[in-house]
A = this chain, B = another copy of it.
Amino acid sequence: MSSILSSLKSPAELRAMSLDSLKELAGEIRARIIEVVGRNGGHLASNLGVVELTIALHYVFDFLHDRLLWDVGHQAYVHKLLTGRNERFDQLRKAGGPSGFPSIEESPYDLFNVGHAGTAIATAVGMARGLSRQQSDARVVALVGDASIVNGVAFEGLNQAGLLRRQLLVILNDNSMGIAPTQGGFAEYLAKFRVSPMYEDIKRKSQRVLSQVPLIGKAAVDALAHLKEGIKSAVSPHQIFEQLGFIYIGPTDGHDLEHLIELLRLVRDTQHPVLLHVHTEKGRGADFAVAEPCKFHSPSPFKVEGCRVEIQSGGRSFTAAFADALIDVARNDPRVLALTAAMPDGTGLNKFQTVFPDRYLDGGIAESGTVDMAAGMCKTGLRPVCAIYSTFLQRAFDQVFQEVALQGLPVIFCMDRAGLVGSDGPVHHGFLDVAYLRGMPRMVLLAPADEPEIGAALRLALKLDVPSAIRYPRDKVPEPILAPGESAVPEFILGRSRLLRDGDDATILAYGALCRNALDAAELLGADGFEVRVVNARFAKPIDPDMVIAALQGGRPVVTVEDHSLAGGFGSAVLETAQELGLPTTRLVRLGLPVDRFIPHGSRAGQLAECGLDAAGIADAVRRGLSREDSPSESSRIPLRTAAARPMSGVRTA
Contact = CB atoms under 8 A, between A and B. Distances in A.
A584 interface: yes
Contacts of A465: 651-654
B376 A129 contact: yes
B394 A651 contact: no
Contact of A402 (B401, B427, B495, B581): B427
Contacts of A355: none
Contact of A567 (B127, B427, B576, B578): B576
A366 interface: yes
A442 interface: yes
A354 to B, nearest CB: 19
Contacts of A394: 397-398, 401
Residue among A129, A378, A588 facing the most chain B CB atoms (10 A cut-off): A129
A648 B654 CA distance: 46
Nearest to A493: B653
Contact of A126 (B379, B569, B645): B379
A309 interface: no
A24 B617 CA distance: 75
Interface string A560-589: 000001111100110111111111111011
Interface stretch (A154-162, A201-209, A252-260, A477-485): A154-162
A584 B584 contact: yes
Interface string A484-523: 0000000000110000000000000000000000000000
Q: How large is the interface on A (under 10, 10 to 19, 20 to 34, 35 or more residues)?
A: 35 or more
A403 interface: yes
Contacts of A652: 464-465
Interface in A628-646: 632, 635-638, 640-641, 644-645
Given A152-B368, A376-B123, A162 B133 contact: no
B399 A398 contact: no
A479 B484 CA distance: 64
B644 A577 contact: yes
A130 B636 contact: no
B369 A160 contact: yes
A402 to B, nearest CB: 5
A123 B376 CA distance: 5
A377 B140 CA distance: 12
A640 B546 contact: yes
Contact of A122 (B126, B244, B368, B644): B368
Interface string A238-255: 011001110000000000
Nearest to A186: B159
Nearest to A572: B572
B184 A159 contact: yes
A122 B651 contact: no
B130 A380 contact: yes
Contacts of A152: 151-156, 368
A131 interface: yes
B156 A369 contact: yes
Given A406-B427, A435-B439, A156 B162 contact: no
A440 B432 contact: yes
Contact of A381 (B134, B373, B407, B590): B134
Residue among A124, A184, A549 facing the most chain B CB atoms (10 A cut-off): A184
Interface in A600-654: 632, 635-638, 640-641, 644-645, 647-648, 650-654
Contact of A123 (B125, B398, B403): B403
Interface in A105-124: 111-116, 119, 122-124
B576 A582 contact: no
A143 B442 CA distance: 28
A426 interface: yes
Contacts of A529: none
Nearest to A393: B398
Contact of A188 (B162, B442, B653): B162
Contacts of A375: 112, 123, 126
16 contacts: A122-B370, A125-B373, A125-B376, A126-B376, A126-B377, A126-B384, A151-B156, A152-B153, A159-B364, A160-B369, A239-B240, A438-B595, A465-B654, A542-B596, A566-B576, A582-B586
